[in-house]
Amino acid sequence: MIKITFPDKTVKEFESGITGLDIAKGISNRLAKEAVSVGVNGEIYDLTRPITKDADFAIYKFEDEQGKEAFWHSSAHLMAEAIEALYRGVKLWVGPSVNNGFYYDIDLPEGKNITEKDFPILEKKMLELAQQKNEYIRKDIPKAEALKYYTEKGDEYKVDLIGGLEDGTITFYKQGNFTDLCRGPHLPDTGYIKAVKIMSIAGAYWKGDEKNKQLTRVYGVSFPQKKLLDEYLEMLEEAKKRDHRKLGKELELFTFSSKVGQGLPLWLPKGAKLRERLENFLKKVQTEYGYEPVITPHIGQKELYVTSGHYAKYGADSFQPINTPAEGEEFLLKPMNCPHHCEIYNSKPHSYKDLPLRYAEFGTVYRYEQSGELHGLTRVRGFTQDDAHIFCRPDQLKEEFIKVIDIVLYIFKTLDFENFTTQISLRDKDDKSKYIGSDENWAKAEAAIIEASAEKGLNTVIAYGEAAFYGPKLDFMVKDAIGRSWQLGTIQVDYNLPERFELEYTGSDNEKHRPVMIHRAPFGSMERFVAVLIEHTAGKFPLWLTSEQAVILPVSERFNEYAQEVMKKLALADVRVSIDERNEKVGKKIRDNEVKRIPYMLIVGEKEVENNSLSVRKQGEGDIGIMSINEFSDFIKDRVAEELK
């Protein structure tokens, strides 16, 4: 007998070899029907895999992450089976479940390819195979035997895959006519899969290395009910409506021009006003935290970047130097502001009493991004960082770092970014050649970040290989409308640039010491931050940020004069307001301004002129009643104060 501990800590005894499905059946038929996988001591098991030892046990449905994993992984196998059936001679690489479905990387035979027109055929084949309710059968095979099988089959991909596995036995799963090397877990049978949709195809380098051959990656998604698929597709449609590229155009926030160049955003007046307000908001916070503004040019001598290490790291892959005609000087567009700020630090000697120094600049930088990488406002070639560099003594580092975390958290809270994740980005453990500086400096910097994050109680994940080339980072990540994660805020500890720029201060001992640098950008970049903000708010910006808080809608042209009077009074009370004086019916004006997401509409007609009042309508909600002009400006003031609290 074995002891099974349920999530609520109750313990039951079962015969050894019982399956998760049997246990579920023992609880209720309905649960057994909805279960797709089970958890056994933290590992995800097939429903039908025998459990042979005492275990902490959990049943997962499709709604659970662990359930989806088994479901989509099984779907990937199903898709592979369909592809094998439709494309003779195809070779398979791997097919995992991912965030929103699954994919399979395949190598199609010479001259064959899959296009979007083939998707329905593939879907049909998959459903046909699903309806056969073929069982997913787990089988352990000795490594040598598996190797022999695939060598004879001439499948170099699977041979490579097995070669990288530990010796001993290897697990295979078979369903219908399809057998695949796989760790599992899987569904009991293909009949669980009721709805499938092939989403897209893409090239994907074998093993993620661009030197390798590019395989074809087929993305799909599947569900246990047709209804869930429909809901998912509808959700995607909704998400598309929030896309900052679409809203940016509709709300006239920014644009691109192929004449100006790809990845070089042009901010339109409304977007510029929004951005300016964000900048002012941060400037105010930074002033409170003791930052001082600095301003530096957009280019710098090549030598500056040789000193900083940027040139050695990125010189060949960046915009090429700008040369002066007569003297043959070489300048680079600045990829970062830190070298300039280091030279500001060096402009005069410093005492330990001066530190910390906090230099802040909304600095525009230019980076060569590969053309295929550009993406709306989230990935561009010219962008403005809300940058600052803190130069401090080693004993001040932790306190300063924590203060920066506070700024980031305050900003995220003010803008309702609740679902962010924090990531400690460290060096690639296996390849230190990508970074500058001594191990000792790196160790100190990493320790400082880990300690400060722990002290603030941040729930961090560690990502190796994500550090900046000069130091480790604490990154704040936020998801966009379609679930892609973007790095926004970043805080970086750097012992290396101070060495390279020979930064010094005189200590109380009258000796020269080296300061530590913190690089930080709470927004990350104005471009990316605004992009994510647009998607989070669906263009309905908070009142304090939006460039137009209210619009006055005269019922007819007869009331334009009163509207002007109202506008003047509200403008004096710092309400950002305009008038829709067009010769249109109120219904039309309301509709147009609803679409423009103006938070409040102030309707004025006969009644309002008589009572010296406004009829207030809230965007998305409708009529909220009559107010006097003063009442309305107070109302806006209160709302703004609340938002910024």
Partner RNA sequence: GCCGAUAUAGCUCAGUUGGCCAGAGCAGCUGAUUUGUAAUCAGCCGGUCGGCGGUUCGAAUCCGUCUAUCGGCUCCA
Of 222 and 385, nearer to RNA (C-beta) is: 385
Distance CA 200, CA 196 (A): 13
Minimum gap (Å) between residue 553 Cβ and RNA: 8
Which tokens go with 4?
């099974």
CA within 13 Å, CB half, 415:
28
Of 4 and 90, nearer to RNA (C-beta) is: 90
Query: What is the residue whose two structure tokens read 């460290």?
Result: 426
Query: What is the residue whose two structure tokens read 């940027």?
Result: 310
Q: Give residues 60-79 in contact with RNA (rule: CB under 7 A).
A: none
622 binds RNA (CB under 7 A): yes
What DSSP line would sit under 86-114, residue for residue?
HSTT-EE----EETTEEEEEEE--TT---
Edge-to-edge strands, sheet with 299-301 = 299-301, 330-333, 322-323
| Residues near 622 by beta carbon (within 8 Å), at least 6 away in sequence | none
The residue from 67, 220, 300, 335 that contacts RNA (CB under 7 A) is 335
Of 474 and 590, nearer to RNA (C-beta) is: 590
385 in active site: yes
Of 17 and 120, nearer to RNA (C-beta) is: 120
Buried b (16+ CB within 10 A) or exposed e, 407-435: bbbebbebbebeebebbbbbbeeeeeeeb
At what angle are helices 269-288 and 526-537 packed, to 10 degrees?
110
Which one of 182, 338, 342, 392 is the catalytic residue? 338
Which one of 105, 155, 189, 387 is the catalytic residue? 387
The residue from 184, 248, 271, 376 that contacts RNA (CB under 7 A) is 376
Query: For the chain, what is the total number of helices (H) and then of strands (E)?
Result: 20, 35
389 in active site: yes
Minimum gap (Å) between residue 191 Cβ and RNA: 29
439 in active site: no
Q: Give residues 204-263 in contact with RNA (rule: CB under 7 A).
A: 204-205, 208-210, 214, 216-217, 219, 245, 249, 256, 258, 261-263
Which one of 49, 473, 520, 576 is the catalytic residue? 473
Of 173 and 442, nearer to RNA (C-beta) is: 442
Q: How far is CA 273 from CA 278, 309, 384, 536, in A?
A: 9, 36, 15, 19
Best CA proximity match to 128, nearest among 193, 223, 198: 193
371 binds RNA (CB under 7 A): yes
379 binds RNA (CB under 7 A): yes
Of 313 and 350, nearer to RNA (C-beta) is: 313
282 binds RNA (CB under 7 A): no
Candidate ranges 59-67, 182-190, 554-562, 570-578; the one touching RNA (CB under 7 A): 554-562
202 binds RNA (CB under 7 A): yes
Of 128 and 250, nearer to RNA (C-beta) is: 250
Distance CA 22, CA 28 (A): 10
Minimum gap (Å) between residue 382 Cβ and RNA: 12
Candidate ranges 77-85, 130-138, 408-416, 549-557; the one touching RNA (CB under 7 A): 549-557
- 3-class secondary structure, 367: coil
Candidate ranges 40-48, 171-179, 452-460, 617-625; the one touching RNA (CB under 7 A): 617-625
Minimum gap (Å) between residue 103 Cβ and RNA: 8
Query: What is the residue whose two structure tokens read 């909805």?
Result: 34
Minimum gap (Å) between residue 581 Cβ and RNA: 10
340 in active site: no
352 binds RNA (CB under 7 A): no
Minimum gap (Å) between residue 555 Cβ and RNA: 4
The residue from 469, 499, 513, 635 that contacts RNA (CB under 7 A) is 469
Q: Give residues 86-115 in contact with RNA (rule: CB under 7 A).
A: 113, 115
519 in active site: yes
635 binds RNA (CB under 7 A): no
Which one of 519, 536, 589, 617 is the catalytic residue? 519
Strands (DSSP E) contained in 436-515 are: 460-464, 473-479, 485-494, 505-506, 512-513
C-alpha dihedral sign at 589, 591, 596, 602: positive
x/- binding map, residues 3-32, to RNA, per CB under 7 A?
Answer: ------------------------------
Q: Give residues 302-331 in contact with RNA (rule: CB under 7 A).
A: 310, 313-314, 317-318
Q: Give residues 575-604 in contact with RNA (rule: CB under 7 A).
A: 582-588, 590-591, 594-595, 601, 603-604
Q: Give residues 171-200 in contact with RNA (rule: CB under 7 A).
A: 200
The 3-class secondary structure across 341-352, one letter per residue, is HHHHHCCCCCEH
CA within 13 Å, CB half, 335:
21
Of 168 and 587, nearer to RNA (C-beta) is: 587
Give the total of residues touching RNA (CB under 7 A).
75
392 binds RNA (CB under 7 A): no
Q: Give residues 408-447 in contact with RNA (rule: CB under 7 A).
A: 434
485 binds RNA (CB under 7 A): no
The number of beta carbons lying within 10 Å of the beta carbon of residue 87 is 17
Buried b (16+ CB within 10 A) or exposed e, 209-233: eeeeeebbbbbbbbbbeeebbeebe
The residue from 151, 556, 612, 628 that contacts RNA (CB under 7 A) is 556
Distance CA 443, CA 507 (A): 24
Q: What is the CA radius of gyration of the chain?
A: 30
User: Before 185, cis peptide (omega within 30)?
Assistant: yes
Distance CA 314, CA 306 (A): 10
Which one of 66, 175, 286, 385 is the catalytic residue? 385
Catalytic residues: 338, 367, 385, 387, 389, 473, 519
